[in-house]
């Protein structure tokens, strides 16, 4: 099942993608795609609704972030062996965790805003996990029981803020618009995430061309690991790292500028397209 949120920013409605790729309006059945609506019983109830009973959304409507009211937006750094190599950083013995601000979440085709004074805004195509059940001290063996589904995240990053300003990486990860999510939340029964093609193009040039198969720490381990340190709640999002090809890895480095466009795709999870503007 593919779930979507559509409509103007801040007033999105929940929807479901039907067999013909059309958006069906779920707002008469659920209030939003958030929190308790992502628990397994609620997802089963949504899946049981015949799509033809749901009204069609208006054609050409804006697509919003595929999950609302995100409490924790957690990221895993250096989680691809080939990206660690391009960054000249050692493969971590344990996952590197940091937070992205939930306020940075935007729709998959919304503009990405370069922060004031930024000269090193970068791109990162990532697989994101959406939590569906309260998770605390869960085992790796049972970790997928706590996952609702998956979506694309463009983990937009300001490298000077992240790496040159001291403290945690979060400084360069949570600026407004730095977390496009969607277009869809694909429930876990529809996709196997162990070997998905991942691409990101800047101005039509393919810069990232990788696969989830090079992840160092896999989805079940990530969910189990994070749950040892905090309680994960339905609707929390974990973005899981990026393959090589980020701007920082080019020689010389290449960063985003106003007027650029990004196209971000993961096999089975859809495609994003963002225009880049200045604050």
Task: Give me the pLDDT at residue 7, please.
Answer: 98
Task: Give me the pLDDT at residue 179, please.
Answer: 98
Domains of the chain, by residue range, sit at: 2-53, 73-278
Contacts of 273 (CB under 8 A, 6+ apart): 108, 109, 261, 262, 263, 264
Task: Give me the pLDDT at residue 87, please.
Answer: 72
For the entire predicted model, the pTM comes to: 0.97
Mind listing the pLDDT tens digit of every residue in the chain (279 residues)? Answer: 999 999 999 999 999 999 999 999 999 999 999 999 999 999 999 999 999 999 999 999 999 999 999 999 999 998 998 777 777 778 889 999 999 999 999 999 999 999 999 999 999 999 999 999 999 999 999 999 999 999 999 999 999 999 999 888 899 999 999 999 999 999 999 999 999 999 999 999 999 999 999 999 999 999 999 999 999 999 999 999 999 999 999 999 999 999 999 999 999 999 999 999 998
Q: Where are the alpha helices (DSSP H) in the chain?
A: 40-47, 81-86, 159-163, 219-227
Task: Give me the pLDDT at residue 157, please.
Answer: 97
Task: Give me the pLDDT at residue 78, please.
Answer: 87
Task: Give me the pLDDT at residue 20, please.
Answer: 96
Rg over alpha carbons for the chain, rounded to the nearest Å, is 18
Q: How many CB atoms neighbour CB 6 within 10 A?
A: 22
DSSP assignment, residue 61? P
Starting at the edge strand found earlier in the chain, the sheet holding 147-154 runs 23-25, 13-17, 2-6, 185-187, 147-154, 125-131, 237-239, 73-77, 96-99
Superfamily of domain 73-278: Fumarylacetoacetase-like, C-terminal domain (3.90.850.10)
How far is the C-alpha of 67 from the C-alpha of 21, rounded, in Å?
A: 19
Q: Which DSSP string do the residues of 181-242 spell out, in sequence order? A: B-S-EEEGGG--GGG-EEEEEETTEEEEEEEGGGBSS-HHHHHHHHHTTS-B-TT-EEE---
Burial of residue 49 (number of CB atoms within 10 Å: 0-12, 13-18, 19+): middle
CB 43 within 8 A of CB 187: yes
How far is the C-alpha of 31 from the C-alpha of 27, rounded, in Å?
A: 6
Q: How many CB atoms neighbour CB 81 within 10 A?
A: 14
How far is the C-alpha of 159 from the C-alpha of 136, rounded, in Å?
A: 32
- First vs last Cα of the chain: how many Å apart? 36
Task: Give me the pLDDT at residue 75, please.
Answer: 97
How far is C-alpha 29 from the chain's CA centre?
A: 25
């Amino acid at each position: 099942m593919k779930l979507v949120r559509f409509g103007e920013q801040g007033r999105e409605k929940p929807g479901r993608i039907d067999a013909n790729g059309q958006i069906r309006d779920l707002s008469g059945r659920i209030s939003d795609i958030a929190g308790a609506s992502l628990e397994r019983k609620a997802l089963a109830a949504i899946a049981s609704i015949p799509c033809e009973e749901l009204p069609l959304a208006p054609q050409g409507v804006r697509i919003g972030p595929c999950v609302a009211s995100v409490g924790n937006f957690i990221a895993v750094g250096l989680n691809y062996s080939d990206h660690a190599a391009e960054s000249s950083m050692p493969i971590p013995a344990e996952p590197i965790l940091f937070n992205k601000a939930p306020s940075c979440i935007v729709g998959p085709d919304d503009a990405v805003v370069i922060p004031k004074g930024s000269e090193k805004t970068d791109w990162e195509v990532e697989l994101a996990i959406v939590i569906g059940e309260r998770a605390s001290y869960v085992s790796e063996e049972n970790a997928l029981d706590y996952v609702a589904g998956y979506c694309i995240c463009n983990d937009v990053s300001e490298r000077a803020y992240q790496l040159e300003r001291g403290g945690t990486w979060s400084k360069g990860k949570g600026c407004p618009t730095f977390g496009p999510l969607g277009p869809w939340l694909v429930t876990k029964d529809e996709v196997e995430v162990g070997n998905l093609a991942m691409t990101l193009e800047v101005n039509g040039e393919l810069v990232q061309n990788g696969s989830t198969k090079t992840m160092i720490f896999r989805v079940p381990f990530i969910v189990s690991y994070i749950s040892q340190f905090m309680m994960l709640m339905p609707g929390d999002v974990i973005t899981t790292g990026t393959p090589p090809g980020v701007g920082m890895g080019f020689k010389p480095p290449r960063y985003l500028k106003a007027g650029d466009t990004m196209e971000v795709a993961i096999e089975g999870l859809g495609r994003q397209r963002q225009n880049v503007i200045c604050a």
